[in-house]
Amino acid sequence: MTAVRRPPNAVKRRLSAGEVAVVTAGHSGSADTIDLMGSLGLDGFWIEGEHGPLSWERLGDQSRAADLWGMSALVRVSRLDASLIVRALSLGAHGIVVPGVRTADEARAIVRAVKFAPVGERGVTLGRRSYGQPQFLHEENAQTVVVVQLEDPEALANAEAIAAVEHLDVAMVAQNDLAQSMGHLGNPGHPEVQRAMASTLSRIAALGPGHAVAGANIARAADVAATLALGVRFLYASYDAWLGAAARDYLGAVRNAPAARKPGDKA
């Protein structure tokens, strides 16, 4: 049997080098969409299993599409559930995202579910990612990414302890759920929410090497520089938001073009 080197985990490589990893997601997440996003040079594709139609039957093809472009396939499961985590990894995911994490103990439980022994207790199977990889079981721990989302004041208060959990890669502040938990449903831009988010991201980033990096959901290019200035090294953005913004700009250009007006219309 000829051993074939599988693509390295692009998100893991970026983070290990101290660089910024950029991932995107959307509610469809078809393999064709992943191909398109891969052609743009993104580091990873977030396959949505909390709010989107995660299909176990499609996950192999989705992760293969990510492999073709050197992207990491990350799967967000709906909750801290070891059976969901191991299934996603066995079918080809490079990493796992878990929402609603509040404590360091929960983060440690996620790490145990993602990693093989001696770090964790992930169920052993030789799925798609192991084919042609005789050392798979011994190399996999170094290739998996673990991301947790902090979504309420309790999680933010425990941010440093969570980020200090060994083998955790990203501690991400989820601004929409945070806004809801702070009494500002649908208004993540509220100053109170933004202050809490910025403070938490800065605190996580200040922990430095050996800790999880800070992550944020930022869709607007205009917000990127300020977010990175807080020390954030993991950026997530929905391609649905990018598509909507681009479509609005395009339609605005058409509707407002002088040549598009009917004779007699006022400027």
How many other C-beta atoms are found inside a 10 Å radius of the C-beta of residue 216?
24
Three-class SS of residue 130? helix
Give catalytic status of residue 190 as yes or no.
no
The separation between the first and the last C-alpha atoms of the chain, rounded to the nearest angstrom, is 71
Token pair recorded at residue 237: 């953005």
CA atoms 77, 82, 85, 91: torsion sign: negative
The active-site residue out of 27, 51, 138, 167 is 51
Q: Token digits for 254?
A: 């058409």
Q: Name beta bridge partners: 72.
A: 44
With H, G, I as helix, E, B as strand and everything else as coil, classify residue 174: coil
Residue partners of 63: CB distance under 8 A and separation at least 6: 47, 73, 91, 92, 93, 94, 128, 129
Could you list the active site residues?
51
